[in-house]
Structure 1
Amino acid sequence: MDFSEMVTDVGTRNVVRLSISFMLLFFAYMSQEFIQEPLIEAEYRRTGLIDPHAGYHSFAILYFFFTIACLIITPIVEMITAKWSMVIGFVAYIIFQAGFIWLNSTYLYITSAILGIGASFLWVGQGKYLTENCTGKTIERNTALTWVIFKFSLLGGGIFLYFMFLNTGITELVATGAYKIFVYIFCSISFLGCLNTCFLPQSAYIPEKRDQESIMQTLRATFKIMRQPPMLLLSFIFLYTGFSRSFWIAIYPTCIKFTTRLGENTSKLLAISCIATGIGQILAGGIFSIMGKKARIIGKDWICVIACAIHLSIFVAIWLFFPSDAPIHPTDKIGWFEPSVYVAIGCSGLLGFGDAIIQTQVYSYLCDGYSEESSHAFALFKFYSAIASTIAFFISKYFTLTGHLTLYGTFAILSGITAVIAQKMYFHKKEHFFQENTNKIYPMTTSEPIKIEISDSGSTIFSNDANSKK
């Protein structure tokens, strides 16, 4: 599909509008999230009135409530539509961000719980809206396009933080209260994203309306999908996305900030790290946006394997160059080698690059195989991812860097293995979930859980028993 077709495709235009909303929200939120733990640690040193690890506690609470909410909100998302589900999510993010104007543990923990619930509405709604605006031709391109635009938020946030910390560090900003100015800016930008979401157009390809599900019916349907072999295999990749994101968004930046041998102004280095991660994310998304459906030639399995191999090599480099106690408190120790600014920034970029590859493939898997059950499928994806993030942040004040890297490295290996098995058994390169320009349904295996035909006009799912349309 050339550029002129992209412009005229209604679904693609909707995806671009959606991505702009997310870019605005996460420019603000991720900028704040990137410095959350170091900022709270600086506030603790100034007043002693907040737990020095409250940032990690906040993340753990957030992802705990996110985990639970993902399982039960699907009928609400179906009832109020994907757009208004995302609006609820935007409001929750703004409420959380505003709390940093009056930073205290009580408000932080309560709004972390609210944010966890709101985030489930945001991400399940996003997955549903994205699925409703994709066809067989546009799945890979639109998911990658979403990722590229979305991740400009990380690049922009990194540049913003760089100038924010150009002549001063987090400690000085907290001491003077000047950081509150930036909180006001972040809240205003998030509000613009919320406003844009309120005016999103109707989805281009809305599936046929089904009877409204109750929460119990939703749970049964979700757990039914959860037990299917493809979803069981994908669960390892889902878990790894949670571990990966927790590491590059909070734990690794904290390592950079707390490793004093990296320089006097590690706050500025933190911003450069954010920029590098954003560049890595955008580069990976851009590659797959250009490749589009040509990525199928390589296969989702080997793409995931490549991404996991990149992350494993980065984990080894971080273990060699960073002190083991870097995630816990400021330290002047070294790893096996003297900490290096170039290694730190290079690792940031490659962490973002590998994470974007895996995330775009996950979205492609789910849009491919669970078109009609998109709310359930994306809820399960976020459910598993949130479990991993909750675990990662819960153990953050207890685990050394070695412990973190061992855990994440193990799941990176498992993700690569299960991606290969899932592709071979259920997502075969030649007999894929979708077959373009054909009126046939191609069974994949005798235990195929879903039969799906996606054409230029949208997707149709067939029941397994009678080979008839749902």
Structure 2
Amino acid sequence: MSLDTGTRNVVRLSISFMLLFFAYMSQEFIQEPLIEAEHRRTGLIDPHAGYHSFAILYFFFTIACLLIAPIVETITAKWSMVIGFMAYVLFQAGFIWLNSAYLYVTSAILGVGAAFLWVGQGKYLTENCTGKTIERNTALTWLIFKFSLLGGGIFLFFMFQNQTMTELVATGGVIPPPSLFSYNPFQFQYKIFVYIFCSITFLGCLNTVFLPVSAYLPEKKETETLAQTLSATFKIMRQPPMLLLSFIFLYTGFSRSFWIAIYPTCIKFTTQLGENTSKLLAISCIATGIGQILAGGIFSIIGKRARIIGKDWICVIACCIHLGIFVAIFLFFPSDAPLHPTDKIGYFQPSVHVAIVCSGLLGFGDAIIQTQVYSYLCDGYSKESSHAFALFKFYSAISSTIAFFISKYFTLTGHLVLYGSFAILSAITAVIAQKMYFHKTQHFFQENTSKIHPMISSEPIKIQITDSGSTISNMPSFPVKGKEAN
């Protein structure tokens, strides 16, 4: 069966993101442990500079998400993503000359660049989806994208197979092999893999430069001013559906912060898990990638049939999976594991098998929630995609900023209580949002289009799904002054 133009564009987009995050997430996964090892070697960088970097990044990301929508509309989604790619290259290059000043400045630049990247990605994805392809395309995007995590984990596994993080940082160049047969091509100075990762990110940038024009471009509107953009964004933010979805958005930020940085750091710092926890960290990355790919694969296969279950109950299932994992991590890991190397144990002896299973299920649950969020936004906010995705990333970035800011102060127990509370809130609000504003019958089976009417708060949102896209029939589209909504 041949793919439609929009789906082919989505595949091209996903390849770019796969290349970028193969490089960036592999580096991000070991950022805090690597910096802590560099601190022990030289004492010239704060041992928690990795957490500080993440906090700065997400703080600037939070602010930028509210301001860049008019720029994205003006320069198009594609060139917005190109700006984002270049910011990632600039940040990654800093690990060649690791120091606090460059790390913090480029973290701020990356925060702004990431806003361009993700808002642009959401807009480009929306412009290449129809009512028939939303679930499939969002899941397909996630599936291809998350092969980056699996590939990065495999790369890290070979890199740490015969050396620890401390040995990696301490090496001054390529390690000469004692014999031809014991040569490990991945056993080298960490600066060399920075060169590799920068090159891969640049390849992703080139692929993005040559992305085709979107298949389903929206009707051309007058360019909004910053004031108009903020006004439109805050109008959407105040609406009950977005207020309910905001809890899920916040949880996606907490979830990602945990599995990408805090939990891997716990594995690296828990010495009871073995002598070379750096290699175990790489296996954890592989398991997380498999979990994310599995979830993306399931939803790309079942496509529209996922609507029978409902986005609300799919989110509830994912949140329940995460709650179970949080309990297991609480029982098997020492409470001080996110802060420094420790030889303590949790309520039970730390287990390698439990650690790996938890990694896989964290990725699985996170992917389920993320695909449903993308489906909500593509379905419900096709005319305001830049604003809606900016709000999604705004809320997600707020929670990530909080998570990384408190990381040097919170024990593992504190993290788990915070994230578990938001997982419960996300499950509850998903059910309420579906029941009140995204009614299954009107949402999933309408095929005819009609005019957009002013929103009546007591009625569920009526989403019109056609081959050319989807719109909301009782949600205002915030027209530019002097023009009427279509």
Q: 1:437 aligns with which of 444, 447, 455?
A: 447
Describe the shift of the 1:399–1:65 C-alpha distance in structure 2 as closer, same or farther (beyond 3 A).
same
Give the drift of 1:457.
2.1
Structure 1: how far apart are the matches of 2:66 and 2:274?
45
Matched, 1:121 2:116: yes
8 A contact 1:371–1:459 mirrored in 2: yes
Residue of structure 1 equivalent to 2:195: 184
TM-score (norm. length: structure 1): 0.96
8 A contact 1:324–1:400 mirrored in 2: yes
Structure 2: how far apart are the matches of 1:203 and 1:32?
31
Matched, 1:68 2:68: no
The superposition leaves residues 183-220 of structure 1 with CA deviations (integer Å, 9 ceiling, x where unpaired) of 00000000000000000000000100111111111111
Letter in 2 for 1:105: S
Matched, 1:162 2:172: no
Matched, 1:51 2:46: yes
What does residue range 94-243 of structure 1 map to in structure 2 within 5 Å? 94-177=89-172, 178-243=189-254
What does residue range 25-424 of structure 1 map to in structure 2 within 5 Å? 25-177=20-172, 178-424=189-435
Describe the shift of the 1:448–1:72 C-alpha distance in structure 2 as closer, same or farther (beyond 3 A).
farther
Give the drift of 1:453.
2.2
8 A contact 1:442–1:451 mirrored in 2: no
Q: Secondary structure at the match of 2:342?
A: coil
Structure 2: how far apart are the matches of 1:166 and 1:94?
27
Q: Secondary structure at the match of 1:335?
A: coil
Q: Which runs of 4+ in 1 moved over 6 A?
A: 441-445
Describe the shift of the 1:209–1:462 C-alpha distance in structure 2 as closer, same or farther (beyond 3 A).
farther
Describe the shift of the 1:314–1:8 C-alpha distance in structure 2 as closer, same or farther (beyond 3 A).
closer
Letter in 1 for 2:226: I
Q: Secondary structure at the match of 2:223?
A: coil
8 A contact 1:100–1:180 mirrored in 2: yes
The superposition leaves residues 390-413 of structure 1 with CA deviations (integer Å, 9 ceiling, x where unpaired) of 000000000000000000000000
8 A contact 2:436–2:460 mirrored in 1: no
TM-score (norm. length: structure 2): 0.93
Describe the shift of the 1:431–1:115 C-alpha distance in structure 2 as closer, same or farther (beyond 3 A).
same
Structure 2: how far apart are the matches of 1:333 and 1:446?
53
Unmatched segments (≥5 aa) in structure 2: 173-188, 478-483
Matched, 1:428 2:444: no
The superposition leaves residues 123-155 of structure 1 with CA deviations (integer Å, 9 ceiling, x where unpaired) of 000000000000000000000000000000000
Describe the shift of the 1:257–1:175 C-alpha distance in structure 2 as closer, same or farther (beyond 3 A).
same
Describe the shift of the 1:63–1:464 C-alpha distance in structure 2 as closer, same or farther (beyond 3 A).
closer
Give the drift of 1:170.
1.1
Structure 2: how far apart are the matches of 1:43 and 1:191?
26
The superposition leaves residues 224-267 of structure 1 with CA deviations (integer Å, 9 ceiling, x where unpaired) of 00000000000000000000000000000000000000000000
Describe the shift of the 1:146–1:410 C-alpha distance in structure 2 as closer, same or farther (beyond 3 A).
same
Describe the shift of the 1:428–1:461 C-alpha distance in structure 2 as closer, same or farther (beyond 3 A).
closer
Structure 1: how far apart are the matches of 2:476 and 2:328?
51
Letter in 2 for 1:146: T
Structure 2: how far apart are the matches of 1:226 and 1:465?
13
Unmatched segments (≥5 aa) in structure 1: none
| Root mean square deviation, CA, Å | 1.7
Give the drift of 1:452.
4.0
Structure 2: how far apart are the matches of 1:105 and 1:20?
32
Give the drift of 1:441.
7.3
8 A contact 2:461–2:474 mirrored in 1: yes
